Chain A
Amino acid sequence: MSGPNEDNNTQLSSHIFGDLLDSIIVDVASECHRIAKLGLDRNLEEEEEEMRLSAQARARVADPSNSSETNTKYVVDIFGQTHPSVATEIFECMNCGRSIAAGRFAPHLEKCMGKVIPISSYHISICLYLSIMIDSYYDREFCAIP
């Protein structure tokens, strides 16, 4: 026969378990949200599409006749700022040497690094720097409180 203390313990244990589980649920949801927003859930067949869009983005930036009024892909945020639909700063991937638009960088890096090319500590620092940049981009773009 379990006394009141045992019942308390059981109830407390369940409650604590529930808390742990809820935290993990939030973690999983956040992870999936991040993956979705950064476009990391694409598969390899779509890399070609990305290359095409990357080239398009570069062309858009290079084209002097581009203006924000005529370009319908520019969206105005709540602060009245415009952001290109593809972040147009160009990075050179330190892994494969390709020029990639920032907005395409995360999915590219995800696949590119997976091809196991020897990495020096210089590369590692750049990767870390870029992850931080990507994370702050994610925070700025998708987590900022309106």
Chain B
Amino acid sequence: MKHSVNRPPTPDAAEDQGKEPTLQEIINIKLIESGEKERLMELLRERLIDCGWKDEMKALCRAHVKKKGRNNVTVDDLVHLITPKGRASVPDSVKAELLQRIRTFLMSAAL
């Protein structure tokens, strides 16, 4: 009886530490091994520079550094600062292009 009271909760798929890799892990490995992840990163980086997104993020960071002082800013601070705006301000066309590339990859990897 005590056994069932103390039994740990059934781990869900995300926390599964067992031998079976998750689908996401498999895909990630395929992405990296094929070099596609690198190519996608470079493409996204290039698009985000071209559309001024990177400049916008850098301006946010500069303003924050100016306000808080150079010595009081950590990388974490800056990540937390620009993540919401960064995620929200990716142009639709850029997002669409990347999603299309990714979908194509997923289909070609027969997943």
Q: For the complex, what is the distance from the CA of A55 to the CA of B35, rounded to whole Å?
A: 50
Q: Which of B31, B44, B62, B103 contacts A24 (CB 8 A)?
A: B44
In the complex, are the beta carbons of B61 and A32 less than 8 A apart?
yes
Interface segment, one of A14-22, A76-84, A118-126: A14-22
A26 touches B106 (CB 8 A): no
| Cβ-based interface call for A68 (8 A) | no
Binary contact readout B68-80 vs A (1 if CB under 8 angstroms, 0 otherwise)? 0011011100110
Chain A residues with CB under 8 Å of B57's CB are 25, 28-29, 32
Tally of contacts, chain A with chain B, CB under 8 A: 87
**Of the candidates A17, A22, A29, A33, which one forms a contact with B95 in the assembled complex, judged by CB atoms under 8 Å apart?**
A17
Does A56 interact with chain B (Cβ within 8 Å)? no
Within B69-94, the residues touching A (CB, 8 Å) are: 70-71, 73-75, 78-79, 81-83, 86-87, 90
Contacting residue for B24 out of A15, A27, A32, CB 8 A: A15
Most buried by B among A12, A18, A26, A28: A28
Q: List 7 A-B contacts (CB under 8 A).
A: A13-B102, A21-B86, A24-B44, A24-B45, A26-B79, A33-B73, A33-B78
